[in-house]
Amino acid sequence: MKKKIAWVTDSTALIPDHIMGAHDIYVVPLEIIFEDGTYADGIDLAPEQLYQKIVQANYAPKTSQPSLGKFVTLYERLKEEYECAIAVHLSSDLSGTYNTSATAAKMVDFPVESVDSKLMSYPITSIILNGIEQAKEGKGYQEIAASLREEYKKFENYILVGSLDQFYKGGRMTGLQYFIGNLLQIKPIFQIKDGLFEVYEKVRTEGKAVKRMLEQLEKAKQSYTVKHVQILHGNVLEKALELKEKIQSKYSDVEVLVGPISSTIGAHAGMGTLALAWRNE
């Protein structure tokens, strides 16, 4: 008897172990390329090791989507055990992972519904958990996937990039933005909006940036129900925990999750990155 739905994602999603262990979730790693070789995100390289390597390297690392073969192999395997799969991947505007996954599914002749999350990191996990709940209610996999494709509209995220230098070298911002940011020591707050990075606001200091992010959360709380907030960080756990403390002392009804950004994201955003994300209900 085959199990119903397999859930597929990539390593930019942050999936805590207890969630991973409790559900049928399969993660295909992206790759991080240093001059000494290629590392599978989350498997060969933990986030804290990544920042050490970046400091020692002569060049900023590059990242690469998983190969078509990796997805084909996974779908071949899942076909034996499951009736179908729903694949939720990081924004197709930021990586070719989503397209590669969808192409592989067609080659294997296994029913896979592909969902472009238009987001990254823990929000992808939230989307998958939402889908798992819908499956428990007995909804069909196509109906679930259709509703998950609309989920990104409910998420808000604010990102303080740790290293503008790395972000720029990774091709995530234009030369002029980078030049101005560096020249005036501006701390831009970025957002992933409709799948793309954009500058939300430019502030002078990290303290002001964090304050702005918290103001946005306050605004969201006034208009919507916000039950869960995620703080994602690039190897700055202390700062993340301080932020958690601030949020929890103000909102006793909010559950705050703290976790590392994946190495793939860290390779672009750099050490010191701090992001805040939540879903407006």
The CATH number of residue 109's host domain is: 3.40.50.10170
Whether residue 173 is predicted with pLDDT greater than 80 in this model: the reply is no
The answer as to whether 43 is a domain residue is no
Residues 169 and 121 in one domain: no
Mean pLDDT (whole number) for 36-55: 86
Cβ contacts of 77 within 8 Å, gap of 6 or more: none
Q: What does the pLDDT read at residue 172? A: 67
Residues 140 and 192 in one domain: no
Q: In the chain, how many domains are there?
A: 2
Residues 170 and 219 in one domain: yes
User: Which of 149, 172, 194 is the endpoint of a domain?
Assistant: 149
Domain range for 21: 3-29+66-149
> Which residue in the block uniquely carries the two structure tokens 């992206």?
30
Residues 228 and 139 in one domain: no
Task: Name the residue with higher pLDDT: 260 or 166.
Answer: 260
Residues 81 and 120 in one domain: yes
Lowest mean pLDDT among 58-62, 165-169, 264-268: 165-169
The answer as to whether 71 is a domain residue is yes
Q: What does the pLDDT read at residue 99? A: 96
Q: What does the pLDDT read at residue 3? A: 85
Tokens at 270, concatenated: 């750099």
| Band (141; pLDDT cuts 50, 70, 90) | very high
Specify whether the CB–CB gap between 7 and 25 falls below 8 A.
Answer: yes
Where helices occur in 170-205 by DSSP H, the ranges are: 175-183
Q: What does the pLDDT read at residue 59? A: 81
- Cβ atoms within 10 A of the Cβ of 142, count? 11
Strand 82-89, strand 37-40: pairing:
unpaired
**185-195 pLDDT, tens per residue?**
778 898 999 99
Q: What is the DSSP letter of 195?
A: T
Specify whether the CB–CB gap between 20 and 207 falls below 8 A.
Answer: no
The answer as to whether 247 is a domain residue is yes
Whole-angstrom CA distances from 4 to 80, 136, 138, 217 are 11, 11, 11, 37
Residues 18 and 126 in one domain: yes
User: Which of 119, 149, 179 is the endpoint of a domain?
Assistant: 149
The answer as to whether 263 is a domain residue is yes
The answer as to whether 54 is a domain residue is no
Which residue type, as a one-letter code, is found at position 124?
I
- Among 172, 166, 115, 121, which Cα is nearest to 144's? 115
Q: What does the pLDDT read at residue 274? A: 95
CA distance 89 to 11: 9
The answer as to whether 53 is a domain residue is no
User: Which of 149, 170, 193 is the endpoint of a domain?
Assistant: 149
Residues 11 and 116 in one domain: yes
Whether residue 175 is predicted with pLDDT greater than 70 in this model: the reply is no
Residues 176 and 237 in one domain: yes
CA distance 70 to 100: 10
Residues 170 and 235 in one domain: yes
In order, the DSSP letters of 116-154 are: E-SS-SHHHHHHHHHHHHHHHTT--HHHHHHHHTTGGGG
Residues 142 and 237 in one domain: no
CATH number of the domain encompassing residue 246: 3.30.1180.10
The answer as to whether 97 is a domain residue is yes
Q: Which long-range contacts (CB under 8 A, 24 or more apart) does 177-184 make?
A: none
Q: What does the pLDDT read at residue 253? A: 94
Residues 80 and 162 in one domain: no
**For the chain, percent of residues with pLDDT exceeding 70:** 95
Residues 269 and 165 in one domain: yes
Task: Name the residue with higher pLDDT: 15 or 59.
Answer: 15
CA distance 174 to 172: 7
The answer as to whether 189 is a domain residue is yes
Strand 274-279, strand 3-10: pairing:
unpaired
Specify whether the CB–CB gap between 58 and 35 falls below 8 A.
Answer: yes
